[in-house]
Structure 1
Amino acid sequence: MDRNKFNHVKKNGRNPPGSRENPIKFNGEAAGRSELLSDLEYTKGVFILVGERAVYKITGSAQECSGRYTFSYAAKPIGFI
């Protein structure tokens, strides 16, 4: 992942959870650059924090998948904290 192509996201606790400035901590793992896997269901359009610093926006609805995780999401990397 080339960090020069992403924006720096300034985190604060004043904005509502799930916004760009206050992303929700993601419970799952990134399966690729544009796919996330989780056991929890997230809504479309929510900003989430994957790992320590990566911020993604969920661009698709939850799709059921078989395997270790229950849901698969289409996501777009937004930036880093």
Structure 2
Amino acid sequence: MPVAELERHQGSVNAIAWAPQSCKHICSGGDDAQALIWELPTMAGPNGIDPLSVYSAGSEINQLQWSASLPDWIGIAFANKMQLLRV
């Protein structure tokens, strides 16, 4: 049974990455061309969990990775591009 369900993407989710320095932050990327950063609470409210931050890319996000050595940087890959985001 899931302990949390994060459902604010408007298309399929293609990638997720846990923040290496935080047990409660996760980033997701999907077909809606959005990278969403989530802060997981101890308990979700009745309307679910809203993302802490939203970034819109040029097209669907295929892969993402949180930097292990620079915890406020995330790399995302979409189309023929890679972008580095400072969060």
TM-score normalized by the length of structure 1: 0.31
Name whichever structure is richer in strand by fraction: 2
Q: Which entry has the higher C-alpha Rg, 1 or 2?
A: 2
Structure of greater relative contact order (alpha carbons < 8 Å, 6+ residues apart): 1
TM-score normalized by the length of structure 2: 0.30
